Amino acid sequence: MVGKRTLCLAFVLSFLLTPLLAAVVPVVDMSLLGGVSYKPSTETVHQGTSMDLKISLPSPNSGNVRGEVVLKASYPDSSPTLEEVIHKAYLRARFPSFRLTAGKTRLSWGDGMLFNAGDVLYGSSSTSVSLTQAVLRDKTDWMAALNYPLGFFSFFETILIPSTSGRIEDAGFGFRFYTNVGETKVEAGFATTDAGVRKHKPYVSLQGNIGADWYLSSSVELDRQFTASTSDLLVTGGLFHSLYFPGDRTLTLRLEFLSRPLQSWAFKGQEDANCTFLLYPELVYTPTSSLSLSLRSILSPLDLSMNATVGASWSVFEGFSLVGFLSAPFGQSSDLFNWEGDQRIALGVGASWIY
């Protein structure tokens, strides 16, 4: 009942936020997935079906004010909250010297597909992520942001994150500076947030090319007294390169790392919140322009455990793709990835359609 009410409210809100609805062309993104999973800890096999539905209502693509409402729902999640259903609801206004963004959306700070120390707003260090998705991190939040261009390829951005408790002292804010120095992109910024505990997070992020594209980010979490513990310094980085073969066959290689260098480097079981060292290798092979085969894995070298996902995606018709994956953790009981607890071996096939 709560779910239906929430959905109704969300749709009413979307109409209110989109007064020019007649001129809006909605985009529906639907993903259906069926599969089986095996839970080694209980030696049980589960079968399930899931659906992710995303409806996007963008404003007309003209003028100095734009916006978008994106509603998301998942089956079998029967009671989503309004916060979960409204994935995005924002407006942008372009003034002569700056741009305002207000509402619920995302700002991508730093560089990195899975690991990104520069993502001080939402955090990109957790290993609790589905490696079957094209976009691994897409968390959104309420904000008001101002973007000041400082030339064609440089800008300064500030963000205000409203308090969720209603107390003004719990509000967060941040800023970043983005520019190019020679062939290297340089980005540096700071955010202070209060999700129960006040944290100050300065960061720096660099990106360039040495034959392969490279990126490197570092951040530190400081407490209210501007002190940090050994787990609070985070360094991430990566290399990305594409190899081309006759017939437009492509192999893309990505290797990312995450490190908390001040943590213990002893070979022992790791925990998601304070892992010392992780690797994310990714191979994507495209034998034809419509088919891609991928191997993605999160490796924890200090406890020799890993979570691997083999996937395939076939873009059959316009907007329509067939997908499949096999995912499995490997490791012992005290390791980051293991066959204990809730971790499962999963096999899934499905389809996605955008129209």
Partner 1 sequence: MSKPVVKLLLTLSLLCIIPSFLFALTGEEVIQKMDEMATFETSVSTGSIKTTDRFGTKISTFKAWARGASDSLIEFTSTAERGQKILRTQSSLYLFYPDAEELIRLQGAALRQSVLGSDLSYEDMTEEKNTLDSYTVVLEGSEIVNGHDCHVLTLTAKKRTVAYPVQKIWVDKQTYLVWKAEYSTAQKRLLKVMEVLSTVEVAGRTLPSETKIEDKMKRDSATWMTLDSLEVNVPLGANIFSLENLTW
Binding residues among 121-160 for partner 1 as defined by CB under 8 A: 135, 137-138, 147, 149, 151-155
CB of 178 to partner 1, least distance (A): 8
Q: Is position 62 an interface residue for partner 1 (rule: CB under 8 A)?
A: no
Residue 194 or 213 with smaller CB distance to partner 1: 213
Specify whether the CB–CB gap between 22 and 57 falls below 8 A: no
Residue 264, both tokens: 């213990």
Residue 337: half-sphere exposure toward Cβ, Cα within 13 Å: 24
CB of 182 to partner 1, least distance (A): 9
CB of 125 to partner 1, least distance (A): 17
DSSP per-residue string spanning 81-136 = -HHHHEEEEEEEEE-SS-EEEEEEE----S--SS-BTT-TTT-B--S---TTSSSS
Q: Is position 318 an interface residue for partner 1 (rule: CB under 8 A)?
A: yes
Binding residues among 156-185 for partner 1 as defined by CB under 8 A: 178, 180, 183, 185
Cα distance between residue 338 and residue 270, in whole Å: 11
Q: Residues 3, 40, 208, 269: which binds partner 1 (CB under 8 A)? A: 208
Q: Residues 250, 262, 274, 308: which binds partner 1 (CB under 8 A)? A: 250
Q: Residues 169, 247, 266, 342: which binds partner 1 (CB under 8 A)? A: 247
Q: Residues 21, 27, 295, 351: which binds partner 1 (CB under 8 A)? A: 27
b/e string for 302-312 if b means 16 or more Cβ within 10 A? bbebbbbbbbe
- Residues with Cβ < 8 Å from 120, sequence gap 6 or more? 109, 110, 174, 189, 190, 191, 201, 203, 219
CB of 199 to partner 1, least distance (A): 22
CA 269 to chain centre: 26
| Largest interatomic CA distance in the chain | 63
Which of left, alpha, beta for 341 (phi over 0: left; psi -120 to 50: alpha)?
left
Q: Is position 25 an interface residue for partner 1 (rule: CB under 8 A)?
A: yes
CB of 117 to partner 1, least distance (A): 16
Residue 190, both tokens: 């700071």
Specify whether the CB–CB gap between 259 and 218 falls below 8 A: no
CB of 103 to partner 1, least distance (A): 12
Specify whether the CB–CB gap between 294 and 311 falls below 8 A: yes
Cα distance between residue 221 and residue 87, in whole Å: 27
Cα distance between residue 309 and residue 305, in whole Å: 14
Interaction mask 98-117, partner 1, x per CB under 8 A = -x-----xxxx---------
| Count of positions on this chain that bind partner 1 (CB under 8 A) | 53
Residue 212 or 262 with smaller CB distance to partner 1: 212
Q: Residues 190, 213, 239, 277: which binds partner 1 (CB under 8 A)? A: 213
CB of 159 to partner 1, least distance (A): 12
Binding site for partner 1 (CB under 8 A): 25, 27, 58, 61, 66, 92, 94, 99, 105-108, 135, 137-138, 147, 149, 151-155, 178, 180, 183, 185, 207-209, 211-213, 240-244, 246-248, 250, 252, 286, 288-290, 315-319, 354-355
